[in-house]
Amino acid sequence: MREILSAKALPKPKFRYSPCVKAGPFYQMAGMIALDPVTAKLAEGGPWHETTVILNNLKGALAEWGLSLEDLVSATIYTTRFDDFPLINQAWEEVFHAGVTPPARTSIGVAALPLGATVEIEFRAYKAS
């Protein structure tokens, strides 16, 4: 059985999609761009700032869903600025520091992302009941 999850920590979707679909112990999150949860406007400041906003939104949503960073199993990072990937890594490592096991990760360079974002990250989690 599928369950659709939303979170106050996430901005209301601008398009028709489910922020997270829970199927048994599996959680599939929609790709996140750096939207301010209150204004739903894209954060400005480039890849580091966008990644930081995405990860902060993620942490808030995970808490609402009874999950933690340790429950993440994989992440796919899309960026239009692969030349600035060290900035994405810097923001990533500020969250997934020593003592926090990061999920498996794939990174993909793309030509464009929704609303002019430079970074979008999709997450998957697993938590047995």
Cα 16 to Cα 19: distance, rounded to the nearest angstrom: 10
Q: Which pTM value belongs to this model? A: 0.95
Instruction: Sort 75 into a burial class: Cβ within 10 Å, 0-12 / 13-18 / 19+.
Output: buried
Hey, is 127 helix, strand or coil? coil
- Per DSSP bridges, beta strands 104-109 and 72-79 are parallel
pLDDT in tens, 37-72: 888 899 999 999 999 999 999 999 999 999 999 999
Tell me if 118 sits within 8 A of 79, measured CB to CB: yes
Domain map of the chain by residue range? 2-126
2-126: CATH topology is 60s Ribosomal Protein L30; Chain: A; (3.30.1330)
